[in-house]
Amino acid sequence: MRATGVVVEYNPFHNGHYYHLQESKKVTQADCMIAVMSGNFLQRGEPALLSKWKRTKMALLGGADLVIELPYAFATSHAPRFAFGSIFLLQSAGAESFCFGSESGDVSVFNDTHDMVSSQNRKYQTHVSEFMSQGLSYPAAAAKAYELLDLPVGLDLSKPNNILGFEYIRAGRELGSIIKPLTIKRKNADYHDVVLGKGDIASATAIREAVFSHDIGKAENYMPSFTIEILKDEQSIKGKLMNWEQFYPLLRYQLLSSSPAEINSFYEVEEGLEYRMIEAMKASDSFQSFMTRLKTKRYTWTRLQRACLHVLNKIHKEDMHRILDSPPAYLRVLGMTETGREYLSHVKKSIDLPLVTTFSKHDFEGLKMEAKTSLVYAQGASFNRLEAEKEEYNTPPVMVK
């Protein structure tokens, strides 16, 4: 059986995701679609609006056959580690290739940009560091560094999605080019589009806007019916869908009851950001207004939200470094279809990493971080909180026929 992989968050699963899965299947002629998916917290530094279990179900209903968890440390890391963890897991699970979405649909521009940069990698990295130390964000620094290399026009690295594709390519190369990179041209919606479009594809951002303004109906055209059903179901079980505002009282309490030194001990809180955080918090009465006060040119919104996540989850620098310094140590199966199960039983013996299907049987540091952060995630539930807390331990892999 042949497998291909995708890297996803599905926050929530929409028609664009469906299209991407189907196209990836068609292009690769794969028997099994593997999705590496972030858990309860996402790369943009946000809580997922639905738990990992609900999003796994959507993935399986939408065309994935096997859903593997990207551990918290990688899922909430900057693009290079996020990409490395994801591609490493896909390769470890036996995928021959991976398919990412892009505006161009042309993988060669990604490959070429990568090759050009890597031919002058030391220079490039030095420039990136310099620009970042001057106060630029990572994408801005990457784009400017590329410009300085005086190479033929490549990818526009100032776009976060291109950076991600670029890092996927780099991760694949780092892993020995065994896994083949492919890209699928996106349909219609732009990543950050906040207004629902006219076709049947809209960005997840626009869909979340509609969902949180209590207007799921407005977004119905852009999501498969199973997504709508699961969204409504989750609302009825746990109260509101999760977003930062629900965790805001906890973040506020955490920031205001900790010393600057304690806050500085959390991952991604650097260069006095702890003082800015405390001051911004004292003047704000919502997460949105807090973030608006916190934002500077130096850091992207995403980067700041990630720092907030690590404060909320109390993730210390040294713990994060220890996990990020090695590739993921296990393959955690969040769910599978019949096909996924068949695939797993075929490749089981050739997989080097331990397969985790029962949480309590394993003792990996990454899993402990998963438990810790899931416990915090459960605090966002408006009701049935005790049930939400137990999900991480009690939920068996989601099965969909």
In the bound state with a copy of itself, the residue whose beta carbon lies nearer, of 270 and 285, is 285
Stretch that binds a copy of itself, among 101-109, 146-154, 210-218, 375-383 (CB under 8 A): 375-383
45 close to 76: Cβ distance less than 8 angstroms: yes
- Is residue 322 a contact point for a copy of itself (CB under 8 A)? no
In this structure, is the dihedral angle defined by the CA atoms of residues 280, 159, 136 and 123, taken in order, positive or negative? positive
Count of residues interacting with a copy of itself (CB under 8 A): 21
Nearest approach in angstroms of CB 75 to a copy of itself is 18
Q: Under rule CB under 8 A, which residues in 264-293 are in contact with a copy of itself?
A: 282-285
Q: Which of 194, 253, 348, 354 binds a copy of itself (CB under 8 A)?
A: 253
**Which residue has 């068996």 as its token pair?**
396
- State the DSSP string of 166-204: HHHHHHHHHTTS-SEEEEEEPPS--TT--S--SSS---H
Q: Closest Cα partner for 86 from 15, 36, 135, 139?
A: 36
Q: Is 379 in the site for a copy of itself (CB under 8 A)?
A: yes
Cα gap 5→63, rounded to integer Å: 12
Pairing status of strand 180-185 against strand 331-337:
unpaired
- Find the binder of a copy of itself among 175, 250, 291, 355 (CB under 8 A): 250
Q: How far is the CB of 117 from a copy of itself (least distance, A)?
A: 40
Looking from the CA of 82 toward its CB, the CA atoms found within 13 Å total 25
Judged by CB under 8 A, does residue 313 bind a copy of itself? Answer: yes
Q: Which is nearer to a copy of itself, 341 or 385 (CB)?
A: 385
Pairing of strands 355-356, 331-337: parallel
257 contacts a copy of itself (rule: CB under 8 A): yes
372 binds a copy of itself per the rule CB under 8 A: yes
Instruction: Tell me the longest C-alpha to C-alpha distance in the chain.
Output: 58
Q: How far is the CB of 256 from a copy of itself (least distance, A)?
A: 5
From the CB of 76, what's the least distance to a copy of itself, in Å? 16
| Residue 314 contacts a copy of itself per CB under 8 A | yes
Task: Please tell me the distance from the alpha carbon of residue 373 to that of residue 69, in angstroms, as a whole number.
Answer: 14
Binding site for a copy of itself (CB under 8 A): 249-250, 252-254, 256-258, 282-285, 313-314, 372, 375-376, 379, 385-386, 389
